[in-house]
């Protein structure tokens, strides 16, 4: 899989967006939200497994981004900064949960499939993958979500998770092995 790595050009483009937002350009803010919101919400949902909490965390992260606009320093891409904020807020929520279970699952999203049978099979596979992902240790789940579900580049994922490349690759390898193992055992049960 080919993933994009941040370039100085993308950082400069993001800085321009933040300058426009800081000057009160509502169209720039809407455009940035339209671009970043789907992936940001996906990350929050994958980490928290609760739609309402994920929406609250995402809203808080975007609020902080809005507040950050006037003092934005073009040191990193906006999405890297936003994903890191979402990660930190999600970790705070998880630490504060008294009885968090890795089996808590987000509500299943509606799927449009050609037939009812195909719909059931697809929904069941998605549920199994979400369950297997939820059973991973948190750091492995984060790495897999960033790289495979959000298509974030390795360098950017390292920045979000605040780990080196080797540590990220190790988390990915261990996470993939556990997912394969869990999904293979689910397949055998069918």
- d(C-alpha 72, C-alpha 45), whole Å: 27
- pLDDT category at 41 given cuts 50, 70, 90 is very high
Each residue's pLDDT tens digit, 82-132: 999 999 898 888 888 754 444 443 333 444 444 555 555 566 677 777 788
Length of the chain, please? 190
Please indicate whether residue 130 or residue 22 has the higher confidence score (pLDDT).
22
Cβ atoms 41, 52 nearer than 8 A: no
**Which of 96, 125, 152 is the endpoint of a domain?**
96
Farthest CA pair distance, the chain: 58
- Does one domain contain both 73 and 161? no
The pTM of this model reads: 0.62
Q: What is the pLDDT of residues 58-67, one digit of tens each?
A: 999 999 999 9
Confidence of residue 2 (pLDDT cuts 50, 70, 90): very low
Asked if residue 133 and residue 91 are part of one domain, the reply reads no
Alpha carbons within 13 angstroms on the beta-carbon side of residue 89 total 23
Q: Give the separation between CA 140 and CA 129, rounded to whole angstroms.
A: 14
Q: What CATH code is carried by the domain that includes residue 58? A: 1.10.1740.10
Structural domain tally of the chain? 2
- Whether the pLDDT of residue 133 is over 80: the answer is yes
> Could you report the per-residue pLDDT of 136-173, keeping only the tens digit for each?
898 998 898 888 888 788 888 888 888 999 999 999 99
Domain boundary among 96, 122, 154: 96
Q: What is the pLDDT of residue 7?
A: 55
CATH number at residue 158: 1.10.10.10
Residue 102 falls inside a structural domain:
no
The parent domain of residue 176 ranges over 113-190
Are 26 and 78 found together in one domain?
yes
Instruction: From 96, 128, 144, give the residue that closes a domain.
Output: 96
Q: What pLDDT is stored for residue 112 in this prediction?
A: 44
Q: Is residue 5 part of a domain?
A: yes
Return the pLDDT at 169: 93
Same domain, 84 and 7: yes
Residues 91, 117 within the same domain:
no
The DSSP result for 105-155, as a single string, is -PPPPP---SSHHHHHHHHHHHHHHHHHHHTS-HHHHHHHIIIIIS---HH
Asked if 183 contacts 130 with a C-beta cutoff of 8 angstroms, the reply is: no
Domain match, 71 and 151 both: no
């Amino acid at each position: 899989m080919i993933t994009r790595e941040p370039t100085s050009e993308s950082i400069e483009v993001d800085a321009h967006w933040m300058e426009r937002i800081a000057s009160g350009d509502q169209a720039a803010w809407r455009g940035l939200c339209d671009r970043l919101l789907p992936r940001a919400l996906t990350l929050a949902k994958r980490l928290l497994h609760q739609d309402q909490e994920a929406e609250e965390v995402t809203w808080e992260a975007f609020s902080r981004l809005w507040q950050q606009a006037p003092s934005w320093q073009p040191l990193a891409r906006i999405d890297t900064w936003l994903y890191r904020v979402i990660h930190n807020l999600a970790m705070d929520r998880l630490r504060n949960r008294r009885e968090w279970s890795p089996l808590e699952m987000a509500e299943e999203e509606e799927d449009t499939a050609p037939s009812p049978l195909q719909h059931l099979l697809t929904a069941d596979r998605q549920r199994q993958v979400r369950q297997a992902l939820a059973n991973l240790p948190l750091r492995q789940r984060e790495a897999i979500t960033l790289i495979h579900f959000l298509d974030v580049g390795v360098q950017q994922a390292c920045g979000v998770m605040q780990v080196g490349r080797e540590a990220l690759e190790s988390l990915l390898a261990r996470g993939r092995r556990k997912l394969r193992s869990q999904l293979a055992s689910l397949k055998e049960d069918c």
